[in-house]
Amino acid sequence: MYKLENKIAIVTGGASGIGLETVKAFLEKGAKVVIADYNEESGESAERELSGRGADVIFMQVDVSGEEAVKKMVQETVKKYGRLDIIVNNAGIGALANTHELTYEEYHKVIAINQDGVFFGAKYAIQEMLKSGGGCIINTSSILGFVGQAGAFAYNASKGAVNTLTKSLALEYADKNIRVNSVNPGYVESGMVNREVLGDFYDTLVAKHPVGRIGKPEEIAHAMVFLAENEFVTGINLLVDGGYTSH
């Protein structure tokens, strides 16, 4: 019996990249999954593809920077499935800019999605998990929650906050059988991180990872499964970074 069999999970930012691979990994373990994403076209496409294979999966369009939207997402999930066992607060964006030129609007947009979105997701998931006797929260953070990067002020700030709030939540709800962890990926192959898009800078990124390559989305998803299944793990920021932060 898989530990995730028949578990009810929400994955935000679940229509592409790490989020989509996490959805697939949870489904393979027998979970029922809500794909929550701002991109309606990608979300509906993922739902069609996966449900066509017999998976129990639905798509909800959600902007995680809006508290009411996240509240509704959780309520609709519980209405359909009866409870919520796992939420992966994965939705996020980046913004590269010189800090002295960064506008408040640009800064706040990153914080609203990457940090506020985690708060909203955790808040409303916890409300339901307290009713059902427990659950699991996994936040997608980053190596940039541990180390700085020039030009990534807003992203660094948001991910540093995610790492610390993860530990705070884990302590606050450990005695309520609610576990809270984060996954901190290194650079991962994606639509924006590949040789075709980045050219020679791709090699620069590769060189920062001692294993000699950047990550694959499915490798990060595997870490998500570990955190969802292991009931003795809470309050950790799990680095999956090919040795990036070991320098």
Q: Catalytic residue numbers?
A: 155
Q: What is d(CA 55, CA 203) in angstroms, rounded to the nearest whole number?
A: 38
Angle between helices 17-28 and 40-51 (to 10 degrees): 20
Structure tokens at 37: 């994403």
Token duo for residue 217: 């989305």
Neighbours of 211 (CB within 10 A): 12
Structure tokens at 202: 């791709």
With 0-12 / 13-18 / 19 or more C-beta atoms within 10 angstroms meaning exposed / middle / buried, residue 39 is: middle
